[in-house]
Structure 1
């Protein structure tokens, strides 16, 4: 399983709303993510709007393409785009290179 980290910028004036939307992510969206190959997916948000995402996947590009083909993702992205300053979050996030990983036992 490969590990991926990415960042985006949430509009500072929309932070509270963005957090609220993620308190109840649609069950069908969660199912689509799992079925598309997204595992151990987490989002972390800094007070200035810096959003860091972490996900594990055998192939992130294939997982993104599978999600892009779903109707639920189309609806979700249409609602999420207004929270970001640079377009659709699923198409504009910046991948960060991994430079260290502490292996488990």
Structure 2
């Protein structure tokens, strides 16, 4: 499996709402993510900096996460989450990719 990690930023004061919306993730979005080859997707919050750390395990043979921004469901989710996070002009979250430097 391929591993991908990145950070995003939460606007302070939105921690509970961010978590609530993810607990109620839309079934069609969960299906879309799985169809794009995302086998696991975890998001952690550093409350001191409001940094979200995301980690994905991708099925290499089925992995197509680069196609997600073209999908209407993904764009609708971004619009739904835009009031909680730092975003780009297209409402996608501002993402900082992380480089893997160690594994055990």
More helix by share: 1
Unaligned runs of 5+ in 1: none
- What's the CA shift string for 1:7-39, capped at 9, x where partnerless? 011011211111111111011100000001112
Task: With the length of structure 1 as denominator, give the TM-score of the two structures.
Answer: 0.83
Aligned residue in 2 for 1:15: 15
- What's the CA shift string for 1:45-90, capped at 9, x where partnerless? 121311000002228x94132x12222111101111221124321x
Unaligned runs of 5+ in 2: none
Task: With the length of structure 2 as denominator, give the TM-score of the two structures.
Answer: 0.84
Q: 1:98 aligns with which of 93, 97, 100?
A: 100
Q: Give 3-state SS (helix, strand or coil) of 1:82's partner.
A: coil
Cα RMSD (Å): 1.7
Aligned residue in 1 for 2:51: 50
Between Structure 1 and Structure 2, how many residues are aligned? 98
Structure 1 Cα separation of the partners of residues 75 and 87 of structure 2: 17
